[in-house]
Amino acid sequence: MSSREDILARVRQKLGRNETNAAVARAEIDTVLAAKAQGPRPQVDAEKSALVGRLIDKSRAYSSTVDQVATRGEAPAAIARYLIGLGLPAQAVIWPKLADLDWASAGVIVQARAAQDADLVGITGCFCAVAETGTLMLCGSVDSPAAISLLPETHIAIVPASRIVPGMEEAFALARKELGQLPRAVNFISGPSRTGDIEQTIVLGAHGPYRVHLILIDGA
């Protein structure tokens, strides 16, 4: 008997499984999967400006920094200002999805490709953002590779205000609605990477970015 059969057989035996109760249980499982019932939720005001406000507060609580601009077109200039302000090189690896922005006029040299170890700055968009906890939801795909938000020491994310949802439940619902199936790599990111392993002292910048900077687009 294969291990699969052996393990499942023992579980079935322990549960007193038979054909009748299996049919009932299968129906139950389908109901549960269809119902997608939610647990109790903390109150999150779903009004747009409240969502923006909460996302900003919670992101800052997670050691991210936030800048706000009116339109998507203003993002490159805002990013250039941020990089110069920190004395970082105005040079970045970006999601292919963002290649249409006018980076050249802002003075930022960008390359749309997979991230490499030497990349110091990674610029991404996001699928949506979760106001409840100040969290970005990134979906890895052909034009939004996952490592760009991971390998560089500085991660900058462009977040349209219209894409802020109250909780993780809405984020998943949006993915189901717009993408059909869940993309291969969904990453929820809340601030820079951190560790508390040595004496439970929090240090920012463990294996991933040291800095996460949000560019909130109010008019998008």
Partner 1 sequence: MESRSHRFKENAAAALANPVLQASMKKAKGKFVDKRAIAIKEIDDFEGTREAAKQLRDRVLENLDLWLEKFESNATARGATVLWAKDGEEICRHVAEIGKRHGIKKAVKSKSMLSEEAGLNQALEANGIQPVETDLGEYILQINNNEPPSHIIAPVVHKSLDEVADLFEKVHKTPRKTEIPALTREAREVLRTHFLTADMGISGGNFLVAETGSVALVTNEGNGRMVTTLPRVHVVITGIEKVIPTLEDLSTLMRLLPRSATGQSISNYVSVLTGTKAADELDGPEHLYYILVDNGRADVIGSEFQEMLRCIRCGACMNHCPVYQAIGGHAYGWVYPGPMGSVLTPLYTGLENAIDLPHAATLCNQCGVVCPVKIPLPDLLRKLREKQTDRNLRPWLERAALKAWAFVAASPTLYALGVWFGVRYLKWLAGGKASIPVLSVAPEWTRGRDFPAPEGRTFRELYAQRKQP
What residues between 22 and 51 interact with partner 1 by CB under 8 A? 22, 25-26, 28-29, 32-33, 36-40, 42-43
Taking CB under 8 A as the criterion, which residues in 128-147 touch partner 1? 133-135, 140-142, 145-147
Nearer to partner 1, 106 or 156 (CB): 156
Nearer to partner 1, 162 or 190 (CB): 190
Query: Binders of partner 1: how many residues, by CB under 8 A?
Result: 75
**What is the Cα–Cα distance from 56 to 15, expressed in whole angstroms?**
48
List, as one string, the DSSP characters of the chain: --HHHHHHHHHHHHHT--HHHHHHHHHHHHHHHHH-----------SHHHHHHHHHHHHHHTT-EEEEESSGGGHHHHHHHHHHHTT--SEEEE-GGGTTS-HHHHT-EEEES---TT--EEEE--SEEETTTTEEEEEEBTTB-GGGGTSSSEEEEEEEGGGEESSHHHHHHHHHHHHSSPPSEEEEE-SS-EE-TTTT--EE-SSS-SEEEEEEETT-
**Listed ranges 83-91, 103-111, 157-165, 178-186: which one lies at the site for partner 1 (CB under 8 A):** 178-186
Nearer to partner 1, 67 or 170 (CB): 170
The reply to whether 177 sits near partner 1 by the rule CB under 8 A is no
The reply to whether 179 sits near partner 1 by the rule CB under 8 A is no
Show the site string, 89-118: x = touches partner 1 by CB under 8 A, - = not: ------------------------xxx-x-
In the complex, minimum distance from the CB of residue 190 to partner 1, in angstroms, rounded to a whole number:
5
Among 45, 57, 178, 197, binds partner 1 (CB under 8 A): 197
Among 128, 150, 214, 215, binds partner 1 (CB under 8 A): 150
Cα first-last separation, the chain: 58
Among 169, 174, 218, 220, binds partner 1 (CB under 8 A): 169
Among 68, 111, 162, 193, binds partner 1 (CB under 8 A): 193
Question: What residues have CB less than 8 Å from 53, skipping those under 6 apart?
Answer: none
Among 56, 125, 167, 216, binds partner 1 (CB under 8 A): 167
Bridge partner residues of 160 (DSSP): 217
